């Protein structure tokens, strides 16, 4: 049995660590390329959203490379993600692949059953240790990434932070135990602290809200975080894999309360959960206006139902909390130049706004 | 002022209706239908209708927003009816009686199966707010009738039959009406009661993009012709009619073979 899974940013490192430690043979899908998206878009329903198409492309490429078991997520709606697995399974079967697809539903008994079946002979202690290591890697990657998006707009020689990022990803992927992961994080934090910065430069601060897949997968969002960083903008993503796992899977109290506060901020504008991250997008916009951000960019896959709703409500929020907003929908036809032009225009506008504020 | 973008055509039509009446009334009745069955949701756009109205129409009259959520609690409908009456100082019993009257009227007005004529029959699968709306659907029911075919809509398939057919899916569909749509489509195909299937869906409809794929896959295995008609506000009548005619010509030729 060779296990594979969909890509989403650096998630493959976490999942690879988890499944390898559980004693499974793992094959990460090849990195996402234009070809992945083209294959996915070719076989997916026309109106399916972008994550569906890219993950379908991942599966096809991984199965062609020799994987025979797909582990992916399920869900209970109303977002379409919950029904991806079944439709993708049918499409792959029709294409003639022989494989097993395991969809992890948010149901603890089902999860335990799957674990029991996949890891014969492993004690619960070993299973727990595997989850611990995967969690440590996830936290490490997210903390370094957060720090890097802080440094990128300020560095004197551009490209230093990105270089360190690429190195750290590789090294974290390679190490095998938690203490090594922590040592690496400490080492990279020191290296990052030594990167020379322009001290007199006060970058614009932009928050990114929206759908998790498009936000975390650089290929899906035309690498918007790095592009903005290169233009000298400090970017804050409102979604990290760590947050998602802590809030929705572990229900960690501290994270969950923070999430509830965001939901409360969104209440006047969107009174009910509509699936996906619509409530969080709206709540974070309100929160970031209070935290003194200069602008908000909303990213989402074209025709994503929850984010379309957020998109239709955010202009009112933006007006009321006095916060410039740019909504960007992505699909398989998004071009880099178009996105860049719009980002540049948005940044010009924010800079003009800031200079006006200083004059006043 | 409206920013409304990227939502499906029926929601746009809903906004049009709301906008037209909202200046002339004291109250606007915009229920929030979260779920109409256990464990299922309606679609996100339906859930958020009151919020989208509020964000996009200035000077709204007072809104009557009652939430119906049968996903976890079947008594939610009772609370919605009683609470709705409470807004107008009407007692619980009277509210429930009014609801019962309305429910009975709804039963009468349901589209009833017509006597079957000779000739082709086509399953027209689509949400009721699409296929029964003359404007949105370009009057597809009459057009198909004029072309001399019998039309079977999902409402003509008994609920239990649709449920039985939908039970063979790997996973229960978690959108209320879509579950019935898929079940009805599968029931019509096996055993084959129709010569062909048309799925009428609006552009950017999320649930339909996935259930369409399920229906299409099943139709292909059972060798039943299937056509997806996507509608939006830019659709022109001539192109629409041409496609219907071509589909029916193709079905006729198949039966002659």
Computed from CA positions of residues A94, A97, A98, A103, in that sequence, does the dihedral angle turn out positive or negative? Answer: negative
Cβ-based contacts under 8 A for chains A and B:
127
Tell me the pLDDT tens digit for each residue of B38-88.
889 999 999 999 999 999 888 889 999 899 999 888 888 899 999 888 888
Tell me the pLDDT tens digit for each residue of A68-122.
999 999 988 789 999 999 999 999 999 999 999 999 988 888 888 998 888 888 8
Among A82, A85, A303, the residue with its CB nearest the CB of B6 is A303
Place of tokens 């991806």: A84
Among A270, A302, A305, the residue with its CB nearest the CB of B43 is A305
- Rounded to whole angstroms, the Cα distance separating B151 from B122 reads 5
> Is pLDDT above 60 for B149?
yes
Distance to chain A for B171, nearest Cα, Å:
7
Q: What is the pLDDT of residue B116?
A: 61
**Can you name the CATH fold of A203-360?**
Rossmann fold (3.40.50)
> B222 is in which domain, residue-wise?
121-256
Q: What is the pLDDT of residue B201?
A: 94
Tokens at residue A133, please? 């290591």
Average pLDDT over residues A304-325: 94
From B48, B79, B109, the end of a domain falls on: B109
Mean pLDDT of chain A: 93
Question: Is residue B130 domain-shared with residue B242, that is, in the same domain?
Answer: yes
Chain B residues lying within 8 Å of A74, measured CB to CB: 171
> Is pLDDT above 60 for A18?
yes
Among B55, B56, B174, the residue with its CB nearest the CB of A82 is B174
Tell me if residue B221 falls in helix, strand or coil. Answer: helix
Interface of B with A (CB under 8 A): 3-7, 32, 34, 39-45, 47-48, 50-52, 54-56, 65, 67, 169-171, 173-175, 201, 203-210, 212-214, 217, 230
> Is pLDDT above 90 for A281?
yes
Distance to chain B for A12, nearest Cα, Å:
26
Question: Is residue B82 domain-shared with residue B131, that is, in the same domain?
Answer: no
A85 touches chain B (CB under 8 A): yes
DSSP-based helix, strand, coil % in chain B, nearest 5:
50, 15, 35
Question: Is residue B103 domain-shared with residue B212, that is, in the same domain?
Answer: no
Which residue in chain B is spatially nearest to A313 when comparing CA positions? B55
Which residue in chain B is spatially nearest to A276 when comparing CA positions? B44
| pLDDT band, very low/low/confident/very high, at A321 (cuts 50, 70, 90) | very high
The verdict on residue B48 lying in a domain is yes
Tell me the pLDDT tens digit for each residue of A173-230.
999 999 999 999 999 999 999 999 998 899 999 999 999 999 999 999 999 999 999 9
> Is pLDDT above 70 for B3?
no
Which residues, in sequence order, are CB contacts of B196 under 8 Å at separation 6+? Answer: B120, B122, B123, B224, B225, B226, B227, B247, B250, B251
Mean pLDDT of chain B: 89
Distance to chain A for B58, nearest Cα, Å:
10
Distance to chain B for A314, nearest Cα, Å:
8
A107 touches chain B (CB under 8 A): no
Question: Is residue B100 domain-shared with residue B213, that is, in the same domain?
Answer: no
- Residue to substitute from A312, A319, A326, interface B, most B β-carbons within 10 A: A312
Question: Is residue B159 domain-shared with residue B94, that is, in the same domain?
Answer: no
Question: Is residue B89 domain-shared with residue B126, that is, in the same domain?
Answer: no
The verdict on residue B88 lying in a domain is yes
Tell me the pLDDT tens digit for each residue of B195-241.
999 999 999 899 999 999 999 999 999 999 999 999 998 889 999 99
Q: What is the pLDDT of residue A121?
A: 83
Chain A residues lying within 8 Å of B215, measured CB to CB: none
Q: What is the pLDDT of residue A320?
A: 94
From B74, B109, B144, the end of a domain falls on: B109
Question: Is residue B168 domain-shared with residue B210, that is, in the same domain?
Answer: yes
Q: What is the pLDDT of residue B1?
A: 45
> Is pLDDT above 80 for B115?
no
A29 touches chain B (CB under 8 A): no
User: For the whole model, what pTM was predicted?
Assistant: 0.93
A285 touches chain B (CB under 8 A): no
From B86, B109, B132, the end of a domain falls on: B109
The verdict on residue B114 lying in a domain is no
The number of folded domains in chain B is 2
- Rounded to whole angstroms, the Cα distance separating B88 from A305 reads 34
Place of tokens 């994987």: A67
Chain B residues lying within 8 Å of A79, measured CB to CB: 44
Distance to chain A for B34, nearest Cα, Å:
9
> CB–CB of B55 and A316 under 8 A?
yes
- Domain A2-120 is in which class? alpha beta
Percent of chain B at pLDDT exceeding 70: 95
Q: What is the pLDDT of residue B112?
A: 52
Which residue in chain A is spatially nearest to B54 when comparing CA positions? A269
Within the 210-269 window of chain A, which residues sit less than 8 Å (CB to CB) from chain B? 269
Chain A residues lying within 8 Å of B214, measured CB to CB: 86-87, 90
């Amino acid at each position: 049995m060779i296990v594979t899974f969909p890509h989403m940013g650096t998630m493959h490192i976490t999942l690879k660590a988890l499944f390898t430690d559980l004693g499974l043979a793992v094959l990460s899908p090849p990195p996402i390329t234009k070809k992945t998206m083209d294959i996915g878009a070719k076989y997916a329903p026309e109106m399916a959203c972008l994550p569906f198409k890219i993950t379908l492309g991942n599966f096809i490429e991984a199965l062609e490379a020799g994987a025979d078991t797909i582990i992916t997520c399920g869900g209970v709606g109303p977002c379409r993600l919950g029904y991806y697995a079944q439709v993708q399974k049918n499409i792959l079967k029709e294409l003639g692949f022989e494989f097993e697809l395991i969809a992890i539903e948010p149901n603890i008994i089902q999860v335990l059953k799957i674990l029991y079946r996949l890891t014969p002979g492993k004690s619960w202690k070993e299973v727990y240790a595997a989850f611990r290591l995967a969690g440590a890697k996830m936290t490490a990657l997210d903390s370094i990434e957060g720090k890097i998006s802080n440094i990128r707009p300020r560095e004197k020689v551009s490209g230093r932070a990105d270089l360190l990022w690429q190195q750290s990803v590789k090294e974290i992927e390679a190490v095998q135990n938690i203490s090594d992961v922590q040592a690496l994080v400490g080492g990279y934090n020191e290296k990052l602290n030594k990167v020379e910065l322009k001290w007199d430069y006060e970058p614009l601060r932009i928050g990114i809200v929206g759908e998790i897949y498009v936000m975390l997968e650089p290929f899906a969002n035309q690498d918007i975080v790095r592009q903005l960083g290169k233009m000298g903008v400090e970017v804050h993503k409102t979604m990290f894999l760590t947050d998602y796992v802590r809030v929705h899977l572990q229900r960690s109290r501290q994270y969950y309360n923070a999430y509830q506060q965001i939901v409360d901020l969104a209440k006047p504008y969107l009174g009910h959960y509509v699936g996906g991250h619509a409530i969080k997008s709206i709540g974070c916009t309100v929160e970031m206006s209070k935290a003194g951000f200069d602008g908000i960019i909303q990213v989402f896959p074209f025709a994503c139902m929850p984010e379309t709703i957020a998109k239709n409500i955010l202009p009112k929020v933006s007006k009321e909390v006095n916060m410039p907003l740019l909504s960007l929908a992505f699909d398989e036809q998004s071009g880099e130049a178009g996105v860049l032009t719009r980002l540049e225009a948005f940044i010009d506008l924010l800079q003009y706004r800031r200079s006006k504020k200083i004059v006043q | 002022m409206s920013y409304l973008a990227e939502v499906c055509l029926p929601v746009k039509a809903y906004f049009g209706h709301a906008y037209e009446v909202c200046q002339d009334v004291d109250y606007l009745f915009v229920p929030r239908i979260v779920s109409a069955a256990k464990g299922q949701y309606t679609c996100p756009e339906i859930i958020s209708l009151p919020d989208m109205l509020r964000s996009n129409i200035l000077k709204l009259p007072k809104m009557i927003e009652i939430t119906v959520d049968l996903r976890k609690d079947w008594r939610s409908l009772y609370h919605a009816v009683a609470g709705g009456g409470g807004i107008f100082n009407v007692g619980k019993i009277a509210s429930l009686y009014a609801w019962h009257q309305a429910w009975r009227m709804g039963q009468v007005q349901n589209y009833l199966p017509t006597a079957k004529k000779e000739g082709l029959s086509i399953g027209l699968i689509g949400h009721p707010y699409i296929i029964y709306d003359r404007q949105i659907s370009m009057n597809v029911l009459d057009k198909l009738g004029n072309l001399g075919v019998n039309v079977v809509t999902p409402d003509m398939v008994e609920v239990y039959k649709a449920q039985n057919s939908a039970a063979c899916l790997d996973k229960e569909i978690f959108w209320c009406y879509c579950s019935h749509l898929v079940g009805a489509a599968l029931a019509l195909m096996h055993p084959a009661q129709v010569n062909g299937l048309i799925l009428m869906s609006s552009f950017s409809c999320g649930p339909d993009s996935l259930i369409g794929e399920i229906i299409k896959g099943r139709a292909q295995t059972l060798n039943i012709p299937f056509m997806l008609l996507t509608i939006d506000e830019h659709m022109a009548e001539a192109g629409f009619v041409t496609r219907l005619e071509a589909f029916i010509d193709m079905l006729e030729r198949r039966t002659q073979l």
